[in-house]
Amino acid sequence: MLSRREPRPWTVGLGAGFKRCTRASLLVALLGPALAMAAPDERLDAVSQLLLERGLIPADAATPSAPTGLAQKFRDGASDMVITAMNFLGVPYRLGGSSGAGGFDCSGFTRHMFEMSLGLVLPRRVDDQASAAGLVEVQRDELRPGDLVFFNTLKRTFSHVGIYIGDGKFIHSPSTGSKVRVDDMRFAYWNQRFTGARRAEAPNEYQPPAATAPATGR
């Protein structure tokens, strides 16, 4: 079960210092002051430009008119989720971790991103996230940025989870010794282990989650 909370302000790293940002100002913190005055379509282009500059989407996917472009997909309401998650690239993996300061495991990362960007509290375990009430199953060819994507990496159907960002890619906290990064679901390893996707819907119907043991995913 899921509960709904007011989205919290979060900390965005800016150089050597930190600045407290609300969701409305996060794009400005990440992309620069010029974005604050941009029209809606220009903001979408700037989001795509951010991913393009980081090498996370191909050049032909950075415009609203491209069939696989992220600009159109961000109009579906997932830009906050993806931008928030991107801000944690490079945070180290930590088993049982659920914060940017202490590190994340895979389910701790997705739980933190959903609470920060949507105000929704996911269950702690990977398999519980896959079956949580309030999330609906999504087919692979219908994926949108912000969807949860699941993989079988430990001989369990739902043993790893990340967040889809578009163009076949997802962001996640992979395993011990690694850091939060973006991977391509079309690569053989992930393609063969993909087991499903989920999307948050009907937030007004969420209920507080039942207490669970602090078990973690990979």
What's the predicted TM-score (pTM) here?
0.66
Cα 216 from chain centroid?
18
* pLDDT recorded at residue 62: 54
pLDDT tens profile 92-125: 999 999 999 999 999 999 999 999 887 889 999 9
Residues 51 and 135 sit within 8 Å (Cβ to Cβ): no
DSSP string, 74-104: HTTTTHHHHHHHHTTTTPBB-TT-EETTTEE
User: Nearest 5 degrees, angle CA 60-CA 29-CA 35?
Assistant: 55
Sequence-ordered alpha helix ranges (H) in the chain: 23-31, 40-53, 70-74, 79-86, 106-118, 126-130, 188-193
* pLDDT recorded at residue 45: 52
Structural domains present in the chain: 1-218 (3.90.1720.10)
Residues 134 and 203 sit within 8 Å (Cβ to Cβ): yes
How far is the C-alpha of 60 from the C-alpha of 64, rounded, in Å?
Answer: 10
How far is the C-alpha of 127 from the C-alpha of 157, rounded, in Å?
Answer: 8
* pLDDT recorded at residue 216: 54
* pLDDT recorded at residue 1: 54
User: Nearest 5 degrees, angle CA 48-CA 160-CA 74?
Assistant: 20
User: Higher model confidence: residue 32 or residue 89?
Assistant: 89
Known catalytic residues are 106, 160, 172
Residues 185 and 168 sit within 8 Å (Cβ to Cβ): yes
